[in-house]
Amino acid sequence: MFINKDVESILVSENELREIVARLAGEIDADYKDKDLMMIGVLKGSVLFMADLMKAMEKDFSIDFVVVSSYENGTESSGRVNVLKDVSQSVEGKDLLIVEDIIDSGNTLNFLVQYFNAKKAKSVKIVTLFDKPDRRQVEIPVDYVGKVIPDVFIVGYGLDYSEKYRTLPYVGILKHEIYS
């Protein structure tokens, strides 16, 4: 397979990604059987994950998206979260599942959970493809986790560094020299 020259090694292969997504889809299907589910993707990192997750699920549900910023083009969270694009419909009374690519400091998801609770969602849960628990600054319960990973900077399958590498079909560890 073709590996991007800026990628040091592959952390999660396309096959493993498929297995992770299938497992999460089964768990979510079972838990939301009788609920009015709305999935809210956090753009842009979640886009490939969310597309595959939706296709793997049996349940029908509505979707929406938000764009938030906290990183300002680096590899460290600034801690401040801004909503750059809001959902385009009411979330009141809905069972929301926020779809994230990765939880790192926890600042983004901590903000979004409070944000949607304030908009009177019936419930707010989180599915994240990756979790880097070593980097957490805010403790926040994560309901569905694809894979727990060490403190490395990863790209691909939606995840970027400075808007690059999102379209890689696998998840790789970015060479240190690219961002140091």
Catalytic annotation present for 134: no
Q: Least distance in Å: CB of 47 to ligand IMP? A: 11
CB of 33 to ligand IMP, least distance (A): 28
Nearer to Mg ion among residue 45 and residue 106 (C-beta): 45
Among 21, 40, 41, 45, binds Mg ion (CB under 5 A): 45
Stretch that binds ligand IMP, among 9-17, 32-40, 53-61, 151-159 (CB under 6 A): 151-159
What is d(CA 45, CA 180) in angstroms, rounded to the nearest whole number? 22
Catalytically annotated residue among 52, 95, 104, 131: 104
| 156 lies in the binding site for Mg ion (CB under 5 A) | no
Q: Which is nearer to ligand IMP, 155 or 168 (CB)?
A: 155
Nearer to ligand IMP, 106 or 146 (CB): 106
With CB under 6 A as the contact rule, the residue among 17, 20, 32, 45 that binds ligand IMP is 45
The DSSP secondary structure of the chain, one letter per residue, reads ----TTEEEEEE-HHHHHHHHHHHHHHHHHHTTTS-EEEEEEETTTHHHHHHHHHH--S--EEEEEEEE--TTSSS--S--EEEE--SS--TT-EEEEEEEEESSSHHHHHHHHHHHHTT-SEEEEEEEEE-GGG-SS----SEEEEE--S--EEBTTB-BTTBSTT-SSEEEEPHHHH-
Active site residues: 104
- Residues at the interface with ligand IMP (CB under 6 A): 42, 45, 70-71, 77, 100-108, 153-155, 159
